[in-house]
Structure 1
Amino acid sequence: MGKFVLNDSQAKIISTLLDNDKPLKVGDIQASTQLSKRSVYNNLKVVNEYFQEIGLSDFSIGKQKKLLLSPEEKEFLKDKLKSNQTDLVLCPEQRVNLIACYLMFPEKRISIESIEKMCRVSRNTIISDIKQTKKELENYQLAIVYSPKMGYRIEGKLINKREVFLFFIERLLKFTNIHLLTFLKFNDVNENFNKLKIISDELDNSYNEESLLALAALLSVIRRGNERYEFSIKELYFIQDTIELAKVDKYFTEFSIHDRFYLTVHLLGTRSAAEFEIDGEKNVELLKLAERIIEKFEVVTNNTLFDKDTLVNEIYLHLSLSLHYHKLSIQAVNPLLEEIKTNYASIYSATKIVCESLKDDFLVPIFESEIANITLHLGSHLREPSEKSFRKKVMIVCPSGQSTSNLLQVEVAKLAPQIEVIGTSAVSDIVDKEQEFDFIISTVELETPFPFIKVNPILTKEDKEKIATVLFLSQSRFQADDKQINGLFDIIGRYVEPREMPAITKEIIDFVNHSNPIIKVEHEYRYSLAELIGQQNIQIVPDSLDWRTGIMMAASPLKESKTIDQEYVDEMIRLVDVYGPYVLLGENVALAHAKPENGVNRLGISMLVCPKGIYFDEENEIKILFVVASPNEYEHLNYLNDILKFAKDSAAVDSIIQTKNVIECYELTKRIF
């Protein structure tokens, strides 16, 4: 077998397939990876060739509408990705991960030749990789420094260094055989891993093996230096009597007391969070940050969030917990990260814009898992619940966390307005609430006599079909004998003993649970960006413009077609005046918009191309300006996400800027969008 080198895009696609447990469409992969549709198709062909070469011959991407790896195929693929590596051959993104880990806790002087030898690429490539690594580390308040005596190394707060090492090493180990990472001493890592596995099993901990291996790698390198994390008296008081510390003391006797304490707080996980408080000054900062996140999200998305006081408190509590973990150098992982990026791509993208624009106000590094957690909170407050004309009362059982439960409630209510979600419950409390609900929607299997529908924490199409089927069987359908008949259940009830109905109802719902829905939920058709823009809404101007003129000119086709009123144009300009150039999505792209109630008559998008630049101020210049007008706030989010993906594709952006006329530009948009 020849050496098969996967590039960044192909690695992202494989990672998405490995992290998802449901069938994915090309659009799902596009949303998760933030690649253009064309790039996804092109790279899927290479991924398919790779799969066929390693023996996954049944995985024919060209013939499947949906893509899914079975658990056995995932394990086979993971083994192949690592076992086939006799040489360390990495794509650019993986080399950035490697360089960051290599320089984080150096055992000896590291020269550029050392990095070149480690990564096995040319000197010029390494220089480029170091620049990219520097840029990446700036997001976490870390810096690569060099001196003739010390060589290359990373400087910054110890808590940041440990947290970032965990983040990068876990990403790296997903595709890389640990034996090839020569800066790690494999025997030490393996010994640490085996001990952690024993402790995890004894404590019935929820750590997966990938996280344990990353932690084992960190433990092997932090012992090299003299840096020590200092714990407060309060923290030490809480740690000293825990069973976790007793286990660490038993199995890690060779570690210093500081490192044993550090490992203990990792094993304590969320249990430790309840025991610590954030100081008063930080409380105020976090509260203000929560308010700014909400305000900025509403401006960026032009959506109105409901129950904002509750939302402020939810985000504040989450930020407090994140700060607590950060203080202890714990890398908190969101197990639903890939599902959130795929199923809530629009909300995730908008949240990412907001978080990155406020990064100087965050007291913690902004990892993807942090953005995903905030996405859950914001998404659960996107829509005001509809009027309570519900017929069926539902209890949600979701141990995954409060933010996931909230978002699940919103999704269920959005799916079927005849549902009244009366609240969430722990499994142990279901019996006490028996009289309150008609059936349960649960993300875990239940041993209960009550009818329940088993769903995923992030609703899939199949989950929605199960819920729709149960509602269909329960709904009021017609009149008979002066009585209202409630679908199948009431019809059956007319012919059996009342005492038999609960068991019959539960059996039918169990049948639906086992992938037997009779109602299909179809995705609504959504116009592509190219269809909405059309040739008539594209303009190319030869001269540079100030931003006010740019917005007015970009909006003029929509105004002429009466898609928007002048009020909408005025409001877009006012928002930039108040909030600054928040409309910038990338180096050369901006999107102007306002709320639907400010003069939107129907859905429309226009695009203004200005090769010589549209200037917002001395530092901010763009060359492509979109105007989006949508009467539907949620639909608006989808197009924001589409334009954001375009803004990140520098080749696509450059190709639009270089078009000579409107016809050429329109033909190109049809291929890109």
Structure 2
Amino acid sequence: MINIDEKQKRILQLLCQNDEYVSLEWLQETLSVSKRTVYYLINKINDTLAVYQIAPIQNKRGAGYYIENEQKKQIQSLFTESLVESSLKAEDRIQFLICWLLYPDKVIHVETIMECFGISRNSVFSDLKKLKTEIQKYHLDLVYSPKEGYKLQGIPANFHAIFLHYIMILLQKVSYREIFFLNVSEVELYYRRLLSISDQLGNEYKGDNYLLAISCLLSITHHTNEKFDFSLLELKDLGKTKELNLIDEMFQDFNVHERLYLAIYLLGSKAGNTVAYKDDEKDIELFELAQVLTEKFEKVSRIRFSDKNELINSLYLHFKLSLYYYKISIQIMNPFTADVKKNYPDLYEIVNTLCIENEDIFPFPLSEGEIVYITIHFGGHIRNESSYLYRKMRVLIVCPSGISTSVLLRKEIENSFANIQVVDSIAVADIPDTVKDIDFIISTVDIQAQVPCIKVHTILSREDKSRIASLISLNENTYSNNPNGIEELLNIVYRYVDPKDHENVKTDIIQFLQNGNPLLQINEISQYRLCEVLNVDDIVLANKQMGWEEGIKVASRPLLNNGYIKPNYIASMINLVCDYGPYFVLRNGVALAHGKSNEGANMLGLSLLVNKSGVLFEYLEVKLLFVLSSPDQNKHLRLLRDIMELSEDEKIVQEILEQTTTALIHEKIKLLYHDIAKK
């Protein structure tokens, strides 16, 4: 362990907690010492670091002192306790500041922030700069005046949703008791009330810190003089919900508008639910929107939905709720945004592009959270038609978060584990007293049942999949080549355990796995990328103007010659153009042709026709014509995203067209692919 005095250790703490240069004056003021003492302490620290072969503290004239991230790790290894455990990281501070500045409890100046977080003036300005960038997507502005200090300005009706979004992220890292601008006693009071409401509704709202986040919001907004832009008549239909009836009973100290707002946020947390309001003029428009979006998604993604009508109806109901919120000037943040973008990046990007291109047909603004909800609906209806050669395990899903999220969870489980059959998706209150013919339960909340249970996130993580796979491995009837279940594993363990303890060891291991702890690890299969599928031999170079039908045939020739497709696949593409027009033309003269997966697609493949004179699709001219073959509904999404990103850059397209051989074209695409991947 490193041997330094407390003042030297304090300097290291301050430098490790800051991501920017720390001035000499600030160190002097914080430590209450002279400049000479600061110089002396820094020199002593550098002498000590040299002994451990660690680079010295950097000193930049006019800026101050700084420690690189790698140095911080090396320095931290010399201490038994964390140097920064009491400090928030820069990203966390920004989230903290957004919540604080939405509803400031006092005048906030730079010095106020320095004191609260123990950071330098430079770090404060750096945080505020990053904060400005972060809040732009919510149409917020950071304003300052000497009298009122820093605060956020924007549409007040959106403050609730923005606060909930960031406080939920913050609560994953710190306790609400550590958030100094909250009234802890009120937070706990409102949280108990909301838990009681959730219990009476069958635990529909437990999990994911949402109720705690709402309680934090209530502890602030209950003491503000907020103005509401909607009339009580607009919200008359909320009176039909159980949520509002229970809120009226439990929150009698709140005014009627506050209770209505609370009901809306509870309902809004359940993706797919809708308040039953009647608006005949918009119903047809919303239903047509759901139809158009589904059909365009099918065309762009070359995915066919076997339950297309069910998907359209679920989107229609969701759009009704979104329009309703928009009419009463309320913005709902999507609690699944980060999880969906992390676990379904390709699907999200395709849906995002599709929505932005068709933004003018939506009767309400398209926020990032709204696009994520649409992604959830599409993802929940993509099926994997994998076959299986063993008994399927019967699984019950308990998912109170909402209709569309439970559908996505169900599909993700069935697609990830071909030997699982999801019997049903139900709420906690609907779990029968006696669970029959069920191998185990997968739930997003803590439950007690007679069969093994696994608690997972609403959007499955890699760790969740590992726990499910481990529990599957316990079922001796699932795999015919291992009739003894885990006996072989236990026999290995028994070699190192006293025989009299064998039975207890077996019981403990089985209990460990039945409680959802992972024995196996799921390795995520990466999706194929553009340069992994497209080879030199798959590229055709031409300089002759041709019609679209000839263009498709020429572009498909490499796939046909190599057995990736059958002749009827080319006919399928031509028929689709006849039926729908040039729907697969993207941007900047780039198109991606494809047929139906069950009409001659043998395996995943990609070819490219580069025609400098163009392929004419009615009034559109295409110079880069890709042809995609994929018998699987899921494996090509990353590939599709690569091509869409390529088509968005006119400069990239032009550079490809300037190449004179197929080898040069392939090499250029390889280089461009790496550039795209970095973005």
TM-score (norm 2): 0.63
Deviations 1:431-458 (A, max 9, x none): 4242231221222233344311233322
Q: Assess if the C-alpha contact under 8 Å between 2:468 and 2:516 holds in 1.
A: no
Structure 2 residue identity aligned to 1:370 = E
- The equivalent of 1:400 in structure 2 is 401
Offset of residue 325 of structure 1: 2.1
Q: Assess if the C-alpha contact under 8 Å between 1:535 and 1:662 holds in 2.
A: yes
| Structure 2 SS opposite 1:352 | helix
Looking at structure 1, the residues matched to 479 and 216 of structure 2 have their Cα atoms a distance apart, in angstroms, of 58
Structure 2 residue identity aligned to 1:567 = N
Structure 1 residue identity aligned to 2:405 = T
Distance 1:552 1:577, change over 3 A: same
Structure 2 residue identity aligned to 1:460 = S
- The equivalent of 2:292 in structure 1 is 292
Offset of residue 291 of structure 1: 3.0
- The equivalent of 1:89 in structure 2 is 129
Deviations 1:583-618 (A, max 9, x none): 234445321111123332332111233456655465
Structure 1 residue identity aligned to 2:355 = C
Deviations 1:312-353 (A, max 9, x none): 332222222222222222222222222222222333333334
Q: Assess if the C-alpha contact under 8 Å between 1:608 and 1:626 holds in 2.
A: yes
Q: Assess if the C-alpha contact under 8 Å between 2:394 and 2:437 holds in 1.
A: yes
Distance 1:485 1:556, change over 3 A: closer
| Structure 2 SS opposite 1:582 | coil
Structure 1 residue identity aligned to 2:125 = T
Looking at structure 2, the residues matched to 478 and 552 of structure 1 have their Cα atoms a distance apart, in angstroms, of 46
Matches within 5 A, 1:75-224: 75-81=88-94, 84-86=123-125, 88-90=128-130, 94=134, 96-97=136-137, 100-102=139-141, 203=194, 206=210
Distance 1:74 1:610, change over 3 A: farther
Alignment of 1:418 with 2:419, yes or no, is yes
Looking at structure 1, the residues matched to 312 and 405 of structure 2 have their Cα atoms a distance apart, in angstroms, of 16
Looking at structure 2, the residues matched to 175 and 410 of structure 1 have their Cα atoms a distance apart, in angstroms, of 26
- The equivalent of 2:103 in structure 1 is none
Deviations 1:4-39 (A, max 9, x none): 69xxxxxxxxxxxxxxxxxxxxxxxxxxxxxxxxxx
Offset of residue 534 of structure 1: 0.8
Identify the structure with bigger relative contact order (alpha carbons < 8 Å, sequence gap 6+): 1
Matches within 5 A, 1:310-321: 310-321=310-321
Unaligned runs of 5+ in 1: 6-49, 61-70, 108-117, 119-152, 155-160, 177-189, 493-500
Q: Assess if the C-alpha contact under 8 Å between 1:51 and 1:57 holds in 2.
A: no
Structure 2 residue identity aligned to 1:592 = A
| Structure 2 SS opposite 1:597 | coil
Looking at structure 2, the residues matched to 220 and 609 of structure 1 have their Cα atoms a distance apart, in angstroms, of 63
Offset of residue 195 of structure 1: 8.9
Looking at structure 2, the residues matched to 555 and 203 of structure 1 have their Cα atoms a distance apart, in angstroms, of 60
Alignment of 1:57 with 2:73, yes or no, is yes
Distance 1:489 1:164, change over 3 A: same
- The equivalent of 1:67 in structure 2 is none
Unaligned runs of 5+ in 2: 1-14, 22-65, 77-83, 98-116, 118-122, 145-149, 171-180, 196-204, 491-502, 675-679
Matches within 5 A, 1:324-335: 324-335=324-335
| Structure 2 SS opposite 1:590 | strand
Structure 1 residue identity aligned to 2:366 = I
Distance 1:379 1:329, change over 3 A: same
Matches within 5 A, 1:36-51: none
Distance 1:532 1:432, change over 3 A: same
Matches within 5 A, 1:257-656: 263=261, 266-267=264-265, 269-270=267-268, 276-383=276-383, 390-476=391-477, 485=483, 487-488=485-486, 508-511=510-513, 513=515, 515-517=517-519, 519-524=520-525, 527-542=528-543, 547-610=548-611, 616=617, 622-648=622-648, 652-653=652-653, 655-656=655-656
Looking at structure 2, the residues matched to 51 and 320 of structure 1 have their Cα atoms a distance apart, in angstroms, of 53
Distance 1:670 1:349, change over 3 A: same
Deviations 1:408-447 (A, max 9, x none): 2223233333333211233344342422312212222333
Looking at structure 2, the residues matched to 608 and 277 of structure 1 have their Cα atoms a distance apart, in angstroms, of 52
Structure 1 residue identity aligned to 2:422 = V
Q: Assess if the C-alpha contact under 8 Å between 1:554 and 1:607 holds in 2.
A: yes
Looking at structure 2, the residues matched to 208 and 75 of structure 1 have their Cα atoms a distance apart, in angstroms, of 20
Structure 2 residue identity aligned to 1:288 = E
Offset of residue 78 of structure 1: 2.8
Looking at structure 2, the residues matched to 268 and 459 of structure 1 have their Cα atoms a distance apart, in angstroms, of 23
Looking at structure 1, the residues matched to 165 and 292 of structure 2 have their Cα atoms a distance apart, in angstroms, of 31
Structure 2 residue identity aligned to 1:317 = L
Offset of residue 631 of structure 1: 2.2
TM-score (norm 1): 0.64
Q: Assess if the C-alpha contact under 8 Å between 1:466 and 1:513 holds in 2.
A: no
Distance 1:169 1:412, change over 3 A: closer
Looking at structure 2, the residues matched to 203 and 174 of structure 1 have their Cα atoms a distance apart, in angstroms, of 16
Offset of residue 269 of structure 1: 3.9
Looking at structure 2, the residues matched to 260 and 433 of structure 1 have their Cα atoms a distance apart, in angstroms, of 41
* Segment of structure 1 superposing worse, 303-312 or 203-212: 203-212
Looking at structure 2, the residues matched to 637 and 238 of structure 1 have their Cα atoms a distance apart, in angstroms, of 43
Q: Assess if the C-alpha contact under 8 Å between 2:237 and 2:276 holds in 1.
A: no
Looking at structure 1, the residues matched to 646 and 219 of structure 2 have their Cα atoms a distance apart, in angstroms, of 37
Matches within 5 A, 1:241-252: none
Looking at structure 1, the residues matched to 421 and 303 of structure 2 have their Cα atoms a distance apart, in angstroms, of 24
- What's the C-alpha RMSD, in Å, of the aligned pairs? 5.3
Distance 1:296 1:502, change over 3 A: farther
Distance 1:58 1:300, change over 3 A: farther
- The equivalent of 2:495 in structure 1 is none
Distance 1:377 1:631, change over 3 A: same
Q: Assess if the C-alpha contact under 8 Å between 1:473 and 1:489 holds in 2.
A: no
Q: Assess if the C-alpha contact under 8 Å between 2:299 and 2:584 holds in 1.
A: no
Structure 2 residue identity aligned to 1:410 = K
Looking at structure 2, the residues matched to 170 and 469 of structure 1 have their Cα atoms a distance apart, in angstroms, of 35
Looking at structure 1, the residues matched to 593 and 212 of structure 2 have their Cα atoms a distance apart, in angstroms, of 44
Looking at structure 2, the residues matched to 463 and 414 of structure 1 have their Cα atoms a distance apart, in angstroms, of 14
| Structure 1 SS opposite 2:129 | coil
| Structure 1 SS opposite 2:362 | coil
Offset of residue 356 of structure 1: 3.8
Structure 1 residue identity aligned to 2:512 = D
Q: Assess if the C-alpha contact under 8 Å between 2:536 and 2:662 holds in 1.
A: yes
Looking at structure 2, the residues matched to 167 and 651 of structure 1 have their Cα atoms a distance apart, in angstroms, of 39
- The equivalent of 1:668 in structure 2 is 668
Structure 1 residue identity aligned to 2:510 = I
